[in-house]
Amino acid sequence: MQRSCKRGLCIFYLTFPGLSGILCKIPNDESEKPQCIYFKIQPVCGRLSKDRMGDDISLQTNRHQHRRLSETEIIQTGKHMEKNYKLIIGYDGTRYFGWEHQPGKDTIQGKLEDVLNHLAEEPVLIIGAGRTDAGVHAMGQVANFKLQSAYEPEEIKRYCNQYLPEDIVVLEVSEVPLRFHSRLNAVKKTYCYRIFLGEKPDVFRRKYVTPVAENLNINKMKAAAEVLLGTHDFTSFCGNRHFKKSAVRTIYEIRIEEKKDELDISFTGNGFLQNMVRILTGTLLEVGTGKRKVREMKEILEGRNRSLAGPMAAAKGLVLINVEYE
């Protein structure tokens, strides 16, 4: 064991990779207790060292890479320094059984936790902002997880993208306050449902759009969407018939845009029930094809019965665009 001290900051460490050490701040006043934390030397051939240009502590590897931890980050009261990390993730959900863990099945959450477990060498629980269904995609899913040891965000991003399958990518990693919760702190979510206007989409889009061969009355669909705006009980649009909690949600905007051979329907709200966006889309499509009247939308909302709404649109056309926070 070696000891290094400077201005009351002492590090007791072992130079063998994969082992732990203790870092203590020794107060000038003997009546005060030292503040100590544990740190973990990552399993690379490296050593803890002082940066030549300042007082930061860094992990120097044989590849001359540094992971710097400032003194204010390192010195904390307690036995460890818990960190909370926020991820922004994109994925092609085609071959996955949704976001959430399912025994014996591939899920986005499961793949991410497998990789993070190997990185941190400790059990990791990742919390997603939204539980996307099987086959649903994401461009900006948000998740967070906590670790008992500190990593640079770029180090986590690089490690994840090295070992995750090609249809999952970590776009951003940032350290956030310990109280941050990706689902509970979310204030807005935006989903987009993509519809191919024709019988068969081109081969490169077939996994991400739902074809509709019938002519659609876009103006009537927009009028029906207006009825859905605001705060309502959306029980009629919930796919979980046994849902016991409040089904009240607020939809801020429904945007319907025609782009050549594609129709995009974007939904922005403070939250969505299970299968809600897909059932809303299926009902709006029935209005567009003339199978329903615009005035029925109010009756469906007030009826609070799943059987009153239209069918659930296919999963492959839906993508989670982003999640917003205050």
C-alpha separations of 163 from 153, 160, 166, 246, 291 in Å: 16, 5, 9, 39, 48
| Residue 303, pLDDT score | 96
Instruction: Considering only residues 123 and 54, tell me which one the structure prediction assigns the higher pLDDT.
Output: 123
Q: What percent of the chain has pLDDT over 90?
A: 70
* pLDDT tens readout for residues 235-293: 999 999 888 899 999 999 999 999 889 999 999 999 999 999 999 999 999 999 999 99
Burial of 54 (0-12, 13-18, 19+ CB in 10 A): exposed
pLDDT beyond 50 at 52: no
Give the mean pLDDT of the chain. 83
Range among 7-11, 29-33, 314-318 rated most confident: 314-318
Count CB neighbours of 21 within 10 A: 17
Concatenated DSSP letters for 86-143? EEEEEE--TTSS-SS--TTS--HHHHHHHHHHHHHTS----EESS-PPTT-EEEEEEE
Burial of 189 (0-12, 13-18, 19+ CB in 10 A): buried
- Which residues are known catalytic residues? 133
* pLDDT tens readout for residues 152-167: 999 999 999 999 999 9
Burial of 18 (0-12, 13-18, 19+ CB in 10 A): exposed
CB 325 within 8 A of CB 187: yes
Q: pTM surpassing 0.85?
A: no
| Residue 161, pLDDT score | 97
Q: Which residues make Cβ contacts (< 8 Å) with residue 106, sequence separation at least 6?
A: 95, 96, 97
| Residue 241, pLDDT score | 86
Output the CA torsion sign for 134, 137, 140, 146.
Answer: positive
Instruction: Considering only residues 70 and 28, tell me which one the structure prediction assigns the higher pLDDT.
Output: 28
Work out the pLDDT band at 322, boundaries 50, 70, 90: very high
pLDDT beyond 60 at 320: yes
Average pLDDT, integer, range 77-101: 87
